[in-house]
Chain A
Amino acid sequence: GQSLEQPSEVTAVEGAIVQINCTYQTSGFYGLSWYQQHDGGAPTFLSYNALDGLEETGRFSSFLSRSDSYGYLLLQELQMKDSASYFCAVIIYRAGANNLFFGTGTRLTVIP
């Protein structure tokens, strides 16, 4: 099976930088993705890492270390609208398809 751990809650100030960590245990690892979900809404794709290193997309960056089974999402210049739940998800290639298995989720609260 798969196991992914994230901090359950994080609070940060508007304009600051916050890092959300994710550790995972799985077999058949293909990559790590990050998704954002606002209350009652659908998850939206933020980033994907297949190789070690940092991927940057605007204010969001994601890092992966395959040897450490660890990744993080970095959010810069936090805005109030960034308050949401953030999920890491491992991608496992299985039975001819890439499947996503989500972590426990981190609820980010941005305060003024």
Chain B
Amino acid sequence: GAVVSQHPSRVICKSGTSVKIECRSLDFQATTMFWYRQFPKKSLMLMATSNEGSKATYEQGVEKDKFLINHASLTLSTLTVTSAHPEDSSFYICSARLAGYSYYNEQFFGPGTRLTVL
């Protein structure tokens, strides 16, 4: 149980276009989902916390207008990279925490999306 999927797994796009990444919890409901960014051989950096039905909370330094997050249901959150540029190329990973467990500390991670902007 507790499987999180991401789609697409890889995407290559041209500079200036927008890319949408989906994160789904397949067999559980997730009140809260998280979006991370990871550069090669580096750590995961929390970008934003996404709560179902409300606005996402972004970490300092993350542009809200560039990285649009929508959490429309208890099983789906989306990250849209708007007007992507080569510096946005990275590995984007989402995670989810079980609904109803505010203090449950295990996050379940998706397999990640490799974004390459040409």
A residues sitting closer than 8 Å to B (CB atoms) are: 1, 30-31, 33, 35, 40-45, 48, 50, 87, 91, 93, 95-105, 107
Contact = CB atoms under 8 A, between A and B. Distances in A.
A73 B60 CA distance: 29
Interface stretch (B68-76, B81-89, B97-105): B97-105
B43 A87 contact: yes
Contacts of A1: 60
A95 B49 contact: yes
28 contacts: A1-B60, A33-B105, A33-B106, A41-B112, A42-B4, A42-B93, A42-B112, A43-B44, A43-B93, A43-B95, A43-B109, A44-B109, A45-B106, A45-B108, A48-B105, A48-B106, A50-B105, A96-B102, A97-B32, A97-B49, A97-B102, A98-B102, A98-B105, A99-B34, A99-B46, A100-B95, A102-B43, A107-B41
Contacts of A44: 109
Secondary structure at the A interface, as helix, strand, loop or mixed, is strand
A87 B102 CA distance: 23
Given A99-B46, A102-B44, A31 B51 contact: no
A105 B106 contact: no
A79 B75 CA distance: 36
B57 interface: yes
A100 B43 CA distance: 12
A103 B105 CA distance: 16
A42 B108 CA distance: 9
Contacts of B11: none
B105 A97 contact: no
Contact of B105 (A87, A91, A102, A107): A91
Contacts of B97: 97-98
A49 to B, nearest CB: 10
